Every structure is written in structure tokens, then in C-alpha cells.
Amino acid sequence: MCSALEINRDEGSGVTYEEFQARSHFSEEEVLAIAHGSLIDDAPPGCKARLPLPPMLMVDRIEHVSRKGNRGRMIAERDVRLDDWFFQCHFLGDPVQPGCLGVDAVWQLLGLYCSWRGALGSGRALGCGEIEFSGQIRPHDGVVRYEIDIVRYQDLPQSGSAITIGDAQVLVDGEVIYELKRAKVGVFRDIEYADYPWPSERSRGGRMGE
């Protein structure tokens, strides 16, 4: 017997904001809906819960997300595809997934964690304390797994922003190949550039304000 949530999803509808915040996992379809901004039907003003669209989307499904105080846990996966775009150019005759994309996947997930916790605004990577690479991802590997321990989530009430810091392991087919310490992402209000490609107030970058 289908639940009301499953029936709505089958009809092409999303979930409520309350349901989004109560979820402990997200399917492949739901992850893609987050990237398109179509998962949450009643998103509050300022809610910019987003993941990058393919091909920069480095997550297929989120197996687990939880919180305990200002800490938490995330586990997500991505299936390696023989024709992934980066294997076509990095490198000719020696295809390997760029390590920076594994780091970006962790940042993508930390940004989503901020939104899942209730932060309103747009996510931006803020840095990473340490990164170690001890392996690689090749075209005939199977599944990349991201395991993230959220060591701190903090709201910044004066600015309406939030910051998440996490330690992560990236595994391929069960073997740890990357380790990250103190990866950091912030979610900030009123910074999105929705007018692309037209010039507007936020069409130029540079150093962000304090």
C-alpha cells in the first residue's frame, strides 16, 4: 500500500518543506529534483536548497542524513559510469576521475545539509582543512560512497547565514581513497544571481562580504 508521500511523488508532485526536513534519505529522483529546485512544493522565501545540475552533480542518492545537536551524519553514493564526462578528457590514454570532484561532492552534500537543517540562502564552499588522496576512481569501478561526520552546524543569526563543518571519507567499492578534515560550507542569504546571463547587481563575483 502506497503512502500519501509516495502517491504524490508518483503524480509528479514534490514534498512539503516540513517533510523535506524530516527525511532521513533521498532517492535518485529526489536528488535530481533538489538540483532542479522542484522537490519542495512550499519552500519558504529564501529557501535555495540546491545541488548542482548534471554533469557537475556528483551524487546519485543520499542513503542517510541525521542530526544530533549541532552534529550529524551523511552517507551518499554515486554510480561510476563508463562514459562519465571527465573520463573523456582527464586524461587521454589514462582516464581517472579528478580528485577535486570527490572533494566537491562533499561540499555539495554539506551545503544540502545546511538547507536540510533549515538554513535559508545559497550554498558556497568555504574551504577544507586537510585533504589526503590515497587512491583513484577508474571507469570500471562500481560505486563511490561518501561518509561525512558533521562536526559542527552553526546558525549565524545576525546575518541569517549558517555554516557546516564536516570530516569525510570517500570510498570506491568499499576502499577508502580520499580523506577530508574540516571541510566547510556556508549558506548565505541574498547572494543568488538569478538573472544569468544578463548583467545585474550580482553578475560579478570577487571577495564576499564578512
Q: In angstroms, rounded to a whole number, what is the distance separating the alpha carbons of residues 197 and 98?
A: 28
Question: Residue 9: which pLDDT band, with cuts at 50, 70 and 90?
Answer: very low
Q: In angstroms, rounded to a whole number, what is the distance separating the alpha carbons of residues 131 and 189?
A: 29
Helix (H) or strand (E) holding 33: helix 28-36
Mean pLDDT of the chain: 93
Q: Which residues share a beta bridge with 150?
A: 72, 166
> Residue 5: pLDDT above 50?
no
Contact 165, 151 (CB under 8 A): yes
Q: Which residues are catalytic?
A: 90
pTM: 0.93
**8-state DSSP, 121:** B
Q: In angstroms, rounded to a whole number, what is the distance separating the alpha carbons of residues 165 and 167?
A: 7
> Residue 209: pLDDT above 80?
no
pLDDT per position as a tens digit, 155-164: 988 877 899 9
- The larger pLDDT score, comparing residue 156 to residue 136, is at 136
Domains identified in the chain and CATH numbers = 10-188 (3.10.129.10)
Nearest to 123 by CA among 17, 18, 49, 198: 49
Helix, strand, coil percent values for the chain (each to nearest 5): 20, 35, 45
